[in-house]
């Protein structure tokens, strides 16, 4: 298995790039999906969240109201740290399990991890960063994902800076243009992946720290 980290700020276009890489034959492990799985009703993470923030962070069907929870924690370092301490270990465990399912195969596995730069990434074959001006990300989050501009800016401010992310990149995909231009960037990133030396099939998988956007 060759593991490639994919990261970028919220609204940068990571999910779009991930889907394009899957169309080109890669397998995907999406940290945001894992976060949702480990927070489903009946899990210890769900119980711990309700214990701390109460039932007002739940929807009528008992699933987490992620927006309500985000409103409680973003912008408050203590609350955010408390949420991360509940969620991140469970996410790291589940990510590790999912990665292990590919061990010993020749799969190319994309790890879509919003906070990869913040959480550390030992042992990956390379890092792709999707880069866009944060104000363009704000506009897209408002237009396509029903954020308010203020919420989008606050979420971006919680994450690593554009410069910190770029400093970790092996490959940068610029997403300041059209979706058609993004496809061209993804094709060249895929060519870069295909040219990488693949690790031995029996290479040990190292755990990655914490890495969700919540
Ligand atoms: P992320 O996963 O990094 O948060 P997404 O892939 O969800 O970002 O992209 C944010 C939104 O912007 C989505 O609705 C996506 O369809 C849209 N989008 C992404 N790239 C472009 C682009 N180049 N032009 C227009 N819209 C885009």
* 214 residues of the chain, pLDDT tens digit each: 999 999 999 999 999 999 999 999 999 999 999 999 999 999 999 999 999 999 999 999 999 999 899 889 988 989 999 999 999 899 989 999 999 999 999 999 999 988 787 776 667 899 999 999 999 999 999 999 999 999 999 989 988 999 999 999 999 999 999 999 999 999 999 999 999 999 988 888 888 765 445 5
Give every CB contact of residue 163 below 8 A, 6+ residues apart in sequence: none
Question: Does the model's pTM come out above 0.85?
Answer: yes
CA–centroid distance, residue 36 to ligand 1 (Å):
20
CA–centroid distance, residue 50 to ligand 1 (Å):
31
Cα–Cα separations (whole angstroms), residue 57 to 60, 83, 95, 172: 10, 12, 25, 37
Length reported for the chain: 214
Q: What is the pLDDT of residue 27?
A: 98
The reply to whether ligand 1 has any atom less than 6 angstroms from the CB of 140 is yes
For residues 153 and 148, give the distance between their C-alpha atoms in angstroms, rounded to a whole number: 9
Q: What is the pLDDT of residue 74?
A: 82
Q: What is the pLDDT of residue 209?
A: 65
Cα–Cα separations (whole angstroms), residue 154 to 37, 62, 75, 134, 150: 25, 27, 7, 11, 6
Q: What are phi and psi of 205, to 5 degrees?
A: -90, 130
Give every CB contact of residue 3 below 8 A, 6+ residues apart in sequence: 99, 109, 111, 123, 124, 125, 205
From 16, 186, 211, the mutation candidate for ligand 1 (largest count of ligand atoms within 8 A of CB) is 16
3-state SS class at 134: helix
For residues 187 and 182, give the distance between their C-alpha atoms in angstroms, rounded to a whole number: 9
The reply to whether ligand 1 has any atom less than 6 angstroms from the CB of 5 is no
Q: What are phi and psi of 58, to 5 degrees?
A: -110, 150
Q: Whose CA is nearest to atom 22 of ligand 1?
A: 179
């Amino acid at each position: 298995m060759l593991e490639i980290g994919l990261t970028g700020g919220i609204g940068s276009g990571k999910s779009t790039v991930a889907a394009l890489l899957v169309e080109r034959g890669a397998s995907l492990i999406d940290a945001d999906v894992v976060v949702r799985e480990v927070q489903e009703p009946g899990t210890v993470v769900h119980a711990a969240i309700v214990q701390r923030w109460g039932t007002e962070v739940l929807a009528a069907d008992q699933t987490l109201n992620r927006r309500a929870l985000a409103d409680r924690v973003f912008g408050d370092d203590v609350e955010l740290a408390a949420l991360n301490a509940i969620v991140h270990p469970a996410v790291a465990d589940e990510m590790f399990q999912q990665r292990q399912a590919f061990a010993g195969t020749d799969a190319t596995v994309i790890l879509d991890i919003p906070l990869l730069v913040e959480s550390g990434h030992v042992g990956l074959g390379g890092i792709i960063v999707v880069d866009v001006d944060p104000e363009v990300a704000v506009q897209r989050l408002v237009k396509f994902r029903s954020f308010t501009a203020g919420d989008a800016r606050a979420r971006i401010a919680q994450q690593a800076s554009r410069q910190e992310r770029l400093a970790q990149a092996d490959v940068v995909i610029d997403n300041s243009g059209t979706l058609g231009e993004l496809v061209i960037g993804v094709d060249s990133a895929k060519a870069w992946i295909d040219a990488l030396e693949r690790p031995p099939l029996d290479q040990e998988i190292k755990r990655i720290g914490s890495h969700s956007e919540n």
